[in-house]
Amino acid sequence: MNALPNTLRVERLNKASLRKVIEPEVDVAGALGPGQLVPDELLSVDGLGLDLTPEQRHRLAREELASIFHAGIVFEATLMAGFAFQMATGADVRDPRFTYALHEIGEETRHSRLFIRLLHQLEPQQRNPILTGWLHRHLGKRVLPALLRRPAALDAFVLAGEEIPDLLQKLLAEHPGTDPYIAEVNRYHRAEEARHLAFARTTISEHYAATTWTDRLAVRWIVPLYLVVMFDLLMVQPYVYETIGLPPWRTWNRVRRLPRRVELRRQCARSVLKALTGTGIFPGRVPYPWRRISGT
Ligand SMILES: [Fe+2]
Ligand SMILES: [Fe+2]
């Protein structure tokens, strides 16, 4: 593989990151408005035919956003751990990829600080045992080290973890019924994430070509499972429904079967799959789990 075109691409990404450094405390310093932050048709329960009061919809909008931002913070921490691990264990420090990883970590720390500020403003009432409970800590201790040792799976994990929120943020940012500050936050985040996606697409083929068979196996079989878990369970976690008096798991189960949600999940899967096939890492038939989750 000729790595030179990739190196030039990464150098361009480095320049783009330098051109506009956005500090959200200064440049995205607004606050949430008083109304319903997410329009009815973008709430996860849209299509279930529930008869919710305006107060319930108002609360649910805040809870769903809080769930998404919380997942974003945990995801960005995982990504930063992965990058830092690679940098600490033998990456060439003069390689532009090393510099770009530093840019990306810098940008993610700014995103996460903004998300934390938003969580304070949203004042969620939900429990979140999915991301704060024993199971999460236990899995984190086992899954995270396994992921850190597999650079191609980490790239695919990054692609999945950035494409899913990207699609949800696009829908929010473009809808006139979305709170203007949420829309602004999403536009800012998507603009920087576009570069992160470009970097992951650039490095995955290099990592995939030089990695272990277990790493390749994870890209083919484990990452698609993770993508479904991330979309179904981490974006809008079940206990948001409890805050408006709905049974959490039963409502969650109905939401994930809604045709609109199924299509949205497939759309996310297709965009990750498109990125992967575009890099040429699936030269033959696309692995079954990817075909299954993208409905192709
Ligand atoms: Fe981010
Ligand atoms: Fe990112």
Looking at residue 91, what is its pLDDT? 77
Residue 17 lies in a domain: no
Output the CA 103–ligand 2 centroid distance in Å.
Answer: 10
Q: How many angstroms does the Cα of residue 8 sit away from the middle of ligand 2?
A: 20
Q: Is residue 30 part of a domain?
A: no
Question: Which band of pLDDT confidence, cut at 50, 70 and 90, is reported for residue 35?
Answer: very high
Report how far residue 138's alpha carbon sits from residue 45's, in angstroms, rounded to the nearest whole number. 30
Summarize pLDDT for 234-243 with one digit per residue, the tens.
999 999 999 9
Report CA(192)–ligand 1 centroid distance (Å): 7
Residue 110 is predicted with a pLDDT of 97
Confidence of residue 20 (pLDDT cuts 50, 70, 90): confident
Residue range 138-158, pLDDT digits in tens? 888 888 888 889 999 999 999
> Of 38-52, 115-129, 159-173, 235-249, which range is least confident?
159-173
Within-domain flag for 80: yes
Distance 21 CA to ligand 1 centre (A): 14
Tell how far the Cα of 215 is from the centroid of ligand 1, in angstroms: 24
Question: Tell me: the pLDDT tens digits for 267-284?
Answer: 999 999 998 998 888 888
Helix, strand, or coil (residue 18) = helix
Closest CA to 126 of 183, 65, 41: 65
36 found inside a domain: no
CB burial class (10 A; 0-12, 13-18, 19+) of residue 42? middle
Number of domains in the chain: 1
What's the confidence (pLDDT) of residue 1?
A: 53
Count CB atoms within 10 A of the CB of residue 216.
18
CATH of the domain at 171: 1.10.620.20
Distance 104 CA to ligand 2 centre (A): 7
Question: Mean pLDDT over residues 84-101, rounded?
Answer: 92
Q: Does residue 33 fall inside a structural domain?
A: no
